[in-house]
Structure 1
Amino acid sequence: MAVGSHRAAPEHTHPDEVPLLTALAALADPVRLTLVRELARAADWTRSCGSFDVPVGKAALSHHLAVLRGAGLVEQRDEGPRRVNRLRRAEFDARFPGLLDLVLKGD
């Protein structure tokens, strides 16, 4: 943990390490799909964890973001007291060409 930090930095899985079924399972959940869609419309690193419009509490939101990190879809970093997010679009598209395009079409 960094000096002065109150929590450990999140662990990230690179999309190259993600099996297709893991990616599909992450995207199949309606809350996680909403998170991905909101991140796809936002500039990198502009969305804090508390800024998403999803019908779940903090613990459930943390779980959903952890699943997305584990599927190589989301990267997070701490900026002061806020944890900000970005969709790993380029890396994920390189691993699964066209998958995010299909998922986001319904947006």
Structure 2
Amino acid sequence: MDLPIINFTSQSQISNDNRLNSIVEYPYLISLYLGKSHIDYMEQFLNETKTHLTRLTELIVDYDQLTVVTDNFTRDATRLNCANVKKERLELCLFSCCNVVMF
């Protein structure tokens, strides 16, 4: 199963109460496209305290956003969801709107 996420709107502009949300599981998701989405969505999907992606094998993301969310690939909370990734495509954003929000 593939899932493309295309949304430039921050999740904080939509809903800001994450304390009541349980962990979302996607047991059949194998391919995730986050290349044209707000950095909040990458945080949501790659953070194991928010989402479980047990079968994810393909990840398409913006490189700059990935380095922020993973804290230069050292953040433990993002390692489990990326553990099975065998194919990744890193995209460079050509539009300034993609790199507006930094944590």
TM-score normalised per structure 2:
0.29
Structure of larger gyration radius: 1
TM-score normalised per structure 1:
0.28
Greater strand proportion: 2
Greater helix proportion: 1
